[in-house]
Structure 1
Amino acid sequence: MTETVWAPDGSNLVVHADNADFLPTLPDGAFTLIYVDPPFNTGRAQQRQETRMVLNAGGDGDRVGFKGRSYDTIKGALHRYDDAFSDYWSFLEPRLVEAWRLLADDGTLYLHLDYREVHYAKVMLDAIFGRECFLNEIIWAYDYGARAKNRWPTKHDNILVYVKNPAKYHFNSAEVDREPYMAPGLVTPAKRELGKLPTDVWWHTIVSPTGKEKTGYPTQKPEGLVRRVVAASSRPGDWCLDFFAGSGTLGAVAAKMGRRFVCVDQNQPAIDVMAKRLGAHAEIASCPPA
């Protein structure tokens, strides 16, 4: 095995590297949780520009806010990456094979995709992990953005959940946030107060364009979504891995929940965002090409 910058008793890491070069440097079974949100192969460029509001004391800003206060809109860095591959599956398959190798015996993989590729990924993961290791398909449903008029509007992503060993995987439903009952009058007051466990359909908003979570990175996922994954499938002190880390949401959640993490991305804009977001909780490292 090539020398690695990671150590089981070392620091959390943000790694600037091609994951195809970095993953083989890691030892077998090192991670309890792997969450990956790879490019969806949409065939188009993804981009988002940071914006922030600055109070304009003179009252002649371009936006009016709370109590009539005037604000200037300041445009920041434009983050962009190409979400198109001529051979998507030869790109993704070896990385998923590495994910299987890197999972501990009680570990779990969450693969976040959308309707374009998820059915192919299910067949691929059945072959890599074994069909008996399939745990769930989670539907993340949201209600935001434009609505098509010539078909049913697409407002969900798919998350495939596979375990390394179906007899030993870690899953703690007691740690998962609960949801309000849709018909609270039909349950006891005690149940109504406690709430119900989520099913495999998760209703959760996207990252608010004006919220504190927003980093400006395209396709950033909300912390609430990833928090549920981390809570259910890892324990405090466990190592978590995201090798398509983007804005570093897994690292942000893991740091808040007492887990250790490695976030990997080859794009410099992603590293810049994660250095700002996770720099207090992780070392920034790099892995030279193989």
Structure 2
Amino acid sequence: MHERWHADGPNRVIHGDNLDVIRELPDASFRLIYLDPPFNTGRTQSRQSITTTRNPDGARTGFKGQQYDTVKGALYGYDDRFADYWEFLEPRLAEAWRLLDDRGTLYLHLDYREAHYAKVALDALFGRESFLNELIWAYDYGARATRKWPSKHDTILVYVKDPTQYYFDNAAVDREPYMAPGLVTPEKAALGKLPTDVWWHTIVSPMGKEKTGYATQKPEGVLRRIVQASSAPGDWVLDFFAGSGTTGAVAAALDRRFVLVDANPDAIGVMRSRLPEETQFIQGVRR
């Protein structure tokens, strides 16, 4: 996996455990990494007692010298159900940092219940100065709560590898309609406006042509905006919680190159039928 496939190789989908796979990928190979991990699998488990040792000298040092065992201990102290999730997610995020090139960007798509924990953890892994945005993807679909405000958004945390030189081209992003077009000139209304950090976009319609039947499928419109802004044509994009393959479908349509990873055979089946025919499918880690 360490050969220079990323320079001129084919788009590929790898079927296997994502941590095993990404540990074999070369450093600084990707301009953009988008991750949509399962939302805190630990919440389906029984509550566990976890003991942490706080070391003022820091038992573990982060990428930029941060010592973050105390951060992890604090996270566990707030909610021990998060501990299992963080033990699962943290090594994968550490690999994401390694795999980004110097101008690269990570987009981490999370449930609103985990975003505040994850931001503290990512500040330790990437450095607070590498935090770029908290994106809110708002939608209006699903069940209606009666005892609280209905939850109708996801959070996407955006971190860059190097805050002094990351790639970002908002001019390349598809514009959206003004919410009050009568307040701007007709020329501006016709052109549309650049998106802010709040994105109004419907979910994948159960009856729409985009629907693959995969339960956690995200809409192409959301990924399109991410890929347009944080990569250029020809750049490599990585998604190692690939699911239905939306990242790859969008990357291919926008002339980016991609590597997708998933352990679920159903996901691989969906991607085989969805992605371009020339996509290479690989079983497990190729050494």
TM-score by length of 2: 0.83
- Residues 6 and 236 in structure 2, CA contact (< 8 A), matched pair in contact too: no
The structure with the greater share of residues assigned to helix is: 2
The structure-2 alpha-carbon separation of the partners of 1:135 and 1:3, relative to structure 1 and needing over 3 Å to count, comes to closer
The answer as to whether partners of 1:19 and 1:264 remain within 8 angstroms in 2 is: yes
Q: Which residue of 2 aligns with 1:177?
A: 174
Instruction: Please name the residue that 2:56 is paired with.
Output: none
CA contact (8 A) 2:14 2:285 kept: no
Shift of 1:8: 2.5
* Equivalent pair of 1:16/1:264 in contact (CA under 8 Å): yes
Number of the residue aligned with 1:40: 39
The residue aligned with 2:21 is 22
1:257 equivalent to 2:264? Answer no
* Corresponding residue to 1:197 among 194, 197, 200: 194
- Structure 1 residue 186: Cα displacement: 1.3
Aligned residue type for 2:258: F
Partner of 1:267: 264
State which of 201, 220, 223 in structure 2 corresponds to 1:223.
220
Mapped to 2, the partners of 1:19 and 1:157 lie a distance apart of 23
Q: Is the 8 A contact 2:35 2:108 kept in 1?
A: yes
**Cα deviation, residue 86, structure 1:** 7.4
Query: C-alpha distance in 1, partners of 2:91/2:3?
Result: 19
Please give the secondary structure, in 2, of the residue aligned with 1:25. coil
Matches within 5 A, 1:48-197: 87-197=84-194
Unaligned runs of 5+ in 1: 46-83
Superposed CA deviations along residues 142-186 of structure 1, whole A, max 9, x for unmatched, are 000110111111000000000001111110011111111111111
CA distance in 2, matches of 1:85, 1:245: 23
In the superposition, relative to structure 1, how do residues 151 and 188 fare at CA in structure 2: closer, same or farther (>3 Å)? same
CA distance in 1, matches of 2:4, 2:20: 12
**How far did residue 219 of structure 1 move?**
1.0
- Structure 2 unpaired stretches of 5+: 46-80
Distance 1:166 1:134, change over 3 A: same
In structure 2, relative to structure 1, the CA distance for the partners of 1:288 and 1:187 (3 Å cut) is closer
Q: Distance in 1 between matches of 2:128 and 2:140?
A: 32
Amino acid aligned to 1:19? N
Mapped to 2, the partners of 1:288 and 1:280 lie a distance apart of: 21
Is contact 1:18–1:289 with CA below 8 Å preserved after alignment?
no
Aligned-residue offset at 1:6: 4.5
Higher strand share: 1
Which amino acid in the other structure matches residue 245 of structure 2? G
Deviation for aligned residue 1:263:
0.6
TM-superposition CA deviations, 1:83-124 (whole Å, max 9, x none): x99711100000000000000100000000011211111011
Q: Percent sequence identity over matched residues? A: 69
Q: Tell me, what secondary structure is at the counterpart of 1:87? A: helix
Distance in 1, matches of 2:250 and 2:286, equals: 29
Q: For the structure 1 residues 275 and 98, does the alpha-carbon distance in structure 2 shift closer, same or farther, using more than 3 Å as the test?
A: same
For residue 7 of structure 2, give the secondary structure of its aligned residue in structure 1: coil
2:51 corresponds to which residue? Answer: none
**1:204-256 Cα distance to aligned partner (Å, 9 max, x none):** 00000011111111110000000000000000000000000000000000000
C-alpha distance in 1 between matches for 2:140 and 2:238: 29
